[in-house]
Structure 1
C-alpha cells in the first residue's frame, strides 16, 4: 500500500512537472528578436480634437517611430496580435483559432523570404521599418502591464516586413486554394467566370478541424470598396476630386487607423494605415492622392505534382527532385498550457506544397518571395507629381489592388494594378496545371505598362467598385478588351455598386450640370439597387416561388414584390430585402451557385418574426452600428454604395455591422492647387480603449453621413489641437 501511495505521489509530481513544463515551454523556446543597434528617435505627437494623431519628426524614421507609438496608445491589443502573427505565435496568444495562421506563415516561408530579401531593401526603407519597430518596443517597455505575451518584444524591422509578406497575398484570395486543398474541396478560381476544379479523392487534412483563418482577418470573398476621381472641368467649382471609400472590417488587424505625418525630409501625408504598417496605404499629400479597391484577377496557379511512392520526391523535367520539407511546431494555448503540435511544411520549385490523399499540389502566386511592396508604398507616399508616382508604381511591389488616382494638376486615373504572371501559351491556366514541366512555371511578371489603366478619360471621371476595369470611365470610354491577353485573367464581374455608380455619374453628366460637393456626397451615400444583374435575378426567383402553403411567406413575397429597391430604411420591405439579398450577393461575388431561395426567405421570415414579432419591422431597428454603450441605427446594405456589408447577429436579434463603410475621405485640390480633405471613421481613433473619449466620438457623425475636417496644414492644426507630447528613446534599430 505504501508503495502504491509513493507511486501515486511520484505520478502526481511528474504530471505537475510536465504541466509546468508545458506552461513555460513556449516562451523558453522562443528565440529573442535581435536587439536593434543603438539609435535615438524623437517624434512629436499632436492630437486634434477627434484624437487623430499628427506625427512630426526630423527624419522619416523619427516619424515612423511616432506612428507606432501613437497607434499603440490607441490600440496596442491589435498591434500585439499582428506582431504575434508575424512571429508565428498567434496560437500561443489566441489558442486554436490562431494555429492555422501560424501554419500558413510556415507554409509560405515568410521567414525565409525576409531572410533572403530584407538586406536588398533600400537603406531608407529599412530605416523607416526599424523606426516603426522601435516605437512599438518603446511603448511595450513603458507599458509592460499591457503586454499579453512573454518575449513578444523587442521586435525589429524584419518583423514588420514579415507582416507584409504574410498578409499581402490574402487580399487576392490565396486562402481559397489553401483551404480547398487542405480540406479536399472543389477549387474556385479567380478572374473571369466561375470554374470549379475538383480534387480526385476525399481526404481529411490534419488541420481540417481548424478553419483556415486568413491573416488579413476578413473574408476575402466579401471584400469591397468604392473609389471615384473627377477632373476640374466636370466639377462645379473647378476642383479636382478624389473620394476614398474603403470597405474593411470595423475592428481587427485590417481596420483602418487614421493618421497624418510630417517629416523634415519631405514626408507629408494624411490618410490611414493598417496595424503593423509605418506607411499610410491611401490618402493624400500636398500634390496627389489615391485610394484602393480590391481587384480579383487570376494571380494564383496550382500544379499537380507527380510524386514517388515515398512522397519525398517529385518529377520535374525528366528528373526526380527532393520535396523540401520542414518540421514546424505550432505552439497552441489551451487554458494555462501551451501544447507543441508538430506539422510539416512542404515546398517544391513551384512554391508551397500541400499534400493530401489525392497527392501533392504546389501553389505559385503573384508577389511570392518578394518585399518590394514596402518600397512601393513608401515611394508613392513621397511622390510629388504624376510622373514620380507612376515611376514608383512601375516598381511593382503591391501584388494586387486597384489604384484610383488624382492630383493638384487635374490628372485622374484608374489603374487595375496587379503583378500579372508572364504565362506561356499552350496551357489551360484556369485548371490544375502539370507540375512535371518547367514550361508551365512562370518566372516573371508583366511590366506595369501592361496593366489596364484609364487616364484622363473624356467622361471626366474614373471609378471602381470591385468590378471589371474595362468600364471605369463609363459608356463610350471603355478599354478595348481585345488588347489584353486572356492569360492575364482579368475579371468581368459587375457589382450593384458599380452599376449604380455609373448610372448616377452618367445621369449627372447627361443633365448638363457639373458635379458639385452635394452631388458627389449623394452618390457616395446612395443606398439603392439597380434593377439588373444578380439582384434582379434573385428577386425574380423569389417572386416565382409557389408559396401558397405558407401565408407568412406569401406575405413576405408580396412585400418584396412591392419593394422600392432602396435600403434607406424607409420602406416596409427594407429589412426583408436587406437579409434576403446578402446570400445572393455572396454567391455572386464568390462566383458560386445560388442557395435555395425558399430556404433563405424562410430563414429571414423566421428571424424577423422571432425577434421583432413581424416580418416588416423598420430596417433601422434591425441594422445597427454598436460600440460599447452606443447603439445607433444605420442604413445601406451589403452591395449598396453606402455599404453595411457584413454583420453579427446579436442576442437581441439585431444585426450589428462589422464590415462595410469604414474610413471615408473626401479630397479636393482647388484651382490654386491647394489640397483640402475631410474624413470620418465608424467609431473613433481609439477603437479598443473604452475609457478614451475617442472610443465612440465619431459614430453619430458617421451614421448621419457627415465628415470632419482633416487638419493637414500644421498651421490649421495648431488652432484645433487637443494635446501634444514628445516621445523618443535610445532605441535599437536593425542594421
Structure 2
C-alpha cells in the first residue's frame, strides 16, 4: 500500500506542477519587445468640463506621448486588449474568442508586415509611434496593479503598427470571407441575396439596395473588450456623413460626422484634441491604439468617414499535391509555406498552449480545411492593402493638411485600404471620395472575380491598387450638398449631380446598394430648399423608415400572415404603424424588434428571409413576459445603460437617428451596444471666421472608469439629441479647463 500512497502523492505533485506551469508559462513564452529609443517627452493634458482631453506639447512626438497617457487614464483596460491583440496574445485575456484573433494575427502576418514595413515609414511618423508607445509604457509602469497580463509592456512603435496591420482589413469585410472558409460555410459575396421578393428594380435616381454593413449576431453581449469584426460581426460598421456648401446652408460650410460604431471596446471612438508648436492642431476621435485622430477637423479643413464595401478580397482555390505540402502554379509545384504557432487560450485560472499551423502561398494567407470527400482543400486569400502599413503616415499627413489639394494628395497614395471620406473646408469646398485600395485586377483576363478563382494561374494574381483617378469622387457638386449612409457612391449629391455607374469599370467591384438611412437622407436633402442648422438637425435625427426593400418585404409578409388571437392583434398593430421609431406610436416597440431581423437577413446576405409568424410570436412573448403587454412605450424597452445611469432611447436599427444593435438584459430591456456613437458637427463661417464645432459621446470620456465623474456625464445630452461645445482654440481650452496636468517620462 505504501507504493500506492507514494504514487498518489507523485500524481498529485505532477498535477500541481502542471497547474503551476499552465498558470504561469504564457508571459515567459511571449515575444520580448525592445523598448522604444530613450527620449524624454513632456506634454500637458488639459481637460474640460466633460473630461475631454486637449493635449499640448512642444513637438508632435510630445503630443503623441500625451495622447497615450490621457487615453490610458480614461480606458487603460481597452488599450491593453488592443496591445495584446497587436502581440498575438489576446487569447491569454479573452480565452477562445481572443484566440480567434490571435490566429488571424498570425494568418495575416501582422507582425511580419510591421517588421518589414515600419522601418520604411518617414522618421517623423515613426517618432510619433515611438512616443505613443512610450506613453503607454509610462502609464503601465506607474500603475502596475492595472496591468492585465505579464510581460505585456513595454511596447514599441512596431507593436502599434502591427495592430494597424491586423485590424484594418476587417473594416471592408475580410471577416466575411475568412469565417465561412474556416467553418466550411458557403461564401456570401454577391451584391444582392437570392431571396424571393428581394427588390432588384433600379430607378433612375435611387437604385435598389443590396446588403450593407450594420447587422450583428442576435446574442451580442455588452463588451468592455475590443471588437474586431469577424464573420457576421463584420457587419458592425456603419455611419452617416453630411457636407453642405455655404450657398446651400445660407451660412457656414458644414461637416457632420455621425459614426455608428460599438459604444465600447477596441473600435469605439475616443474624443480628444491635439496641439503642438510644430503645427499639429486637430480635434476629433480615434480608436484605441492610435496616436492621432482618424476623423475630425483642424483650423482649415475636416473630414469624416463611412464604411464602404467594394470587392477588396479575392479567393483562390489551390491545387494541392497528395500530401498537401505543395500547390501547383503555372504547371509547376511550389512548396506551401507552413509555420506552427502557439495560441494562448485562457481557461479559468490557466492558459492552455494550443498549436496551430499557419499556411501561405504566393497569393497570400491560405486556409486549409477538410472537404466533403475527406480530402484537404486549400483556399488562398488576397486583399486590398495586403502587406502595407503606410496608412500610418497618410493619416498623420491628413491631420496636418491645410488645403483640398494637400488632402487629396495624401488620399491619392491609396494607402488607406477602405472607407468613404466626406470633406469640407474653410474655403467652402465640399468633397466625397469613395476611398478604396481596390485590387488592380487585369481587365483583359476573363475571370469571375466575385467567385472562387483558380489558384494555379499566376495571371490572376494582381499586385497593388488601382490608380486614384479610377475610383469615384465628387468635388463641389451643383446641388451644394453631399452625403453618405453606407450606400453606393452613385447616390451622393442629388439628381443632376450624382456620378454614373456606367463611368466605372465593373471589375472594380463597387457595391450597388442603399440603406434605409440612405433613402431617407437622399429624399430629405433633395427636397430641402435650404440646409441650415435646423434643417440638418431634422435630417440627422430623422427616425422614419421608407416602405422599401427589406421593410417592404416584411410588411408585405405581415399582410399575408394568417393569425389568431394575440398574434392577430400584434399583426394588426404593426399594419397600422406609421413607420417612425419616435417613441410615440403603440407599435414602435414591436416594430423595433421585428425590423432588426429582416435588416439582419438582408445585410448579411442570408439565403432566406426569417419566418414572419415565428418571429412575431417570439417578440410578442418577450414583450408579454417583461411588460405584460404587446404595446409598451418603446422608451421603456430601448435603453442607454452605463453604471447607475439608465435612460430611454428612440430611433431604429436603420434610421438616421440610429439605435442599431443591443444586448437583451435580464429585465428584458434592450441595452444599446452599437448605433449613433461619436457625433461631431463642424462649421466654417462664410465670413472667414474661426471654425467652431460641437460633439457628443454616448457615455463620457472615461468609458471604463466607473469612479470617474466623466463615466456617464454625456449620457443625458446624448439621449436628448443635444451636442456639447468642442474647445478647439487655445483661449477656449484654457477658459474651460477643469484640470491641467503635466506628464513626462523624465527620470
| Aligned match for 1:484, one of 504, 507, 523 | 504
Aligned to 2:578: 564
Structure 2 residue 546 is matched with structure 1 residue 530: yes
Structure 2 residue 366 is matched with structure 1 residue 353: yes
Q: Distance in 1 between matches of 2:342 and 2:3?
A: 38
The Cα offsets for residues 102-129 of structure 1, whole Å up to 9 and x where unpaired, read as 1110111111111111111111110001
Structure 2 residue 689 is matched with structure 1 residue 671: no
The aligned runs of 1:26-425 (5 Å cut-off) are: 26-189=26-189, 192-194=191-193, 215-216=228-229, 219-236=233-250, 238-358=251-371, 359-424=377-442, 425=445
What is the Cα deviation at residue 677 of structure 1?
Answer: 0.1
Aligned to 2:600: 586
3-state secondary structure, aligned to 2:418 = coil
What is the Cα deviation at residue 216 of structure 1?
Answer: 4.7
Contact map agreement 2:319 2:455 (CA 8 A) in 1 = yes
- How many residues of Structure 1 are paired with residues of Structure 2 in the alignment? 708
Q: Distance in 2 between matches of 1:96 and 1:176?
A: 19
Structure 2 residue 474 is matched with structure 1 residue 454: yes
Q: In terms of mean alpha carbon deviation, does 253-262 or 584-593 score higher?
A: 584-593
3-state secondary structure, aligned to 1:266 = coil
Q: In terms of mean alpha carbon deviation, does 408-417 or 538-547 score higher?
A: 538-547
Structure 2 residue 531 is matched with structure 1 residue 518: no
3-state secondary structure, aligned to 2:692 = strand
Aligned to 2:15: 15
Q: Distance in 1 between matches of 2:120 and 2:287?
A: 24
Contact map agreement 1:580 1:604 (CA 8 A) in 2 = yes
- Gaps of at least 5 residues in structure 1 are 197-210
Q: Distance in 1 between matches of 2:192 and 2:508?
A: 13
What is the Cα deviation at residue 625 of structure 1?
Answer: 0.5
3-state secondary structure, aligned to 2:39 = strand
Q: Distance in 2 between matches of 1:581 and 1:371?
A: 39
The aligned runs of 1:693-732 (5 Å cut-off) are: 693-730=709-746
Q: Distance in 2 between matches of 1:489 and 1:448?
A: 15
What is the Cα deviation at residue 465 of structure 1?
Answer: 0.3
What is the Cα deviation at residue 475 of structure 1?
Answer: 1.7
Aligned to 1:205: none
What is the Cα deviation at residue 156 of structure 1?
Answer: 0.2
Q: Distance in 2 between matches of 1:49 and 1:427?
A: 58
**Structure 2 length-normalised TM:** 0.93
Aligned to 2:653: 638
What is the Cα deviation at residue 195 of structure 1?
Answer: 7.4
**Structure 1 length-normalised TM:** 0.95
What is the Cα deviation at residue 41 of structure 1?
Answer: 0.3
Q: Distance in 2 between matches of 1:58 and 1:448?
A: 35
What is the Cα deviation at residue 214 of structure 1?
Answer: 5.9
Q: Distance in 1 between matches of 2:13 and 2:485?
A: 63
Q: Distance in 2 between matches of 1:195 and 1:423?
A: 26
What is the Cα deviation at residue 482 of structure 1?
Answer: 1.0
What is the Cα deviation at residue 378 of structure 1?
Answer: 0.7
What is the Cα deviation at residue 718 of structure 1?
Answer: 1.1
Q: Distance in 1 between matches of 2:227 and 2:179?
A: 10
Structure 2 residue 583 is matched with structure 1 residue 573: no
Q: Distance in 2 between matches of 1:391 and 1:414?
A: 14
Q: In terms of mean alpha carbon deviation, does 164-173 or 416-425 score higher?
A: 416-425
Q: Distance in 1 between matches of 2:227 and 2:743?
A: 34
What is the Cα deviation at residue 194 of structure 1?
Answer: 3.8
Q: Distance in 2 between matches of 1:28 and 1:325?
A: 25
Aligned to 2:668: 653
Q: In terms of mean alpha carbon deviation, does 475-484 or 432-441 score higher?
A: 475-484
Q: Distance in 1 between matches of 2:678 and 2:450?
A: 35
Structure 2 residue 466 is matched with structure 1 residue 440: no
Aligned to 2:703: 687
Q: Distance in 2 between matches of 1:361 and 1:407?
A: 45
The Cα offsets for residues 110-162 of structure 1, whole Å up to 9 and x where unpaired, read as 11111111111111110001110000000000011111110000000001101
3-state secondary structure, aligned to 1:242 = strand
Q: Distance in 2 between matches of 1:657 and 1:215?
A: 18
The Cα offsets for residues 483-517 of structure 1, whole Å up to 9 and x where unpaired, read as 111111111110110010111111212xxxx2211
Contact map agreement 1:195 1:430 (CA 8 A) in 2 = no
Q: Distance in 2 between matches of 1:530 and 1:14?
A: 66
3-state secondary structure, aligned to 1:427 = coil
Q: Distance in 2 between matches of 1:214 and 1:442?
A: 30
Aligned to 2:217: none
Contact map agreement 2:639 2:647 (CA 8 A) in 1 = yes
Cα 1:465–1:294 shift into 2, 3 Å? same
RMSD of aligned residue pairs (Cα, Å): 1.4
Q: Distance in 2 between matches of 1:102 and 1:194?
A: 31
3-state secondary structure, aligned to 2:45 = strand
